[in-house]
């Protein structure tokens, strides 16, 4: 089964420290070694976002995020796990590695 692990950050929070980056890299290496890593990326903050809405050929492009909130998605992992229990264990390790909350969702 595939799962999305979303790294949640708080607006105004500092970027990852060098120690956190080292922990994240080690976590990524373990996922790769176990054949569980499908994708791992960091995302720019919401201030650098745009929203495109071309429904009914509207052609609208707006600066800023689609949803305004204090907390936002700062990165994602797409992983392979046997089931939700294993994915939760991986997410627990991910949360410790990046020192952030992790939202987990099954990929349909």
Q: Going residue by residue through the chain, which has 108 residues, state the pLDDT in tens, using 9 for 90 and above.
A: 999 999 999 987 878 889 999 999 999 999 999 999 999 999 988 888 999 999 999 999 999 898 888 899 999 999 999 999 999 999 999 999 999 999 999 999
pTM (two decimals) = 0.89
Q: Pairing state of beta strands 2-10 and 71-80?
A: antiparallel
Domain extent, residue 71, equals 2-106
The domain spanning residue 71 has which CATH number? Answer: 3.30.70.1060
Total domains in the chain come to 1
């Amino acid at each position: 089964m595939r799962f999305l692990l979303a790294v949640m950050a708080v607006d105004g929070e500092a970027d990852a420290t060098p120690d956190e980056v080292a922990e994240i890299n080690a976590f990524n290496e373990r996922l790769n070694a176990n054949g569980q890593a499908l994708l791992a990326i960091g995302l720019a903050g919401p201030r650098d976002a745009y929203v495109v809405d071309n429904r009914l050929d509207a052609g609208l492009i707006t600066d800023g995020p689609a949803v305004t909130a204090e907390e936002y998605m700062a990165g994602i992992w797409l992983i392979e796990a046997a089931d939700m229990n294993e994915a939760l264990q991986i997410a627990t390790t991910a949360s410790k590695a990046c020192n952030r909350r992790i939202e987990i969702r099954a990929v349909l």
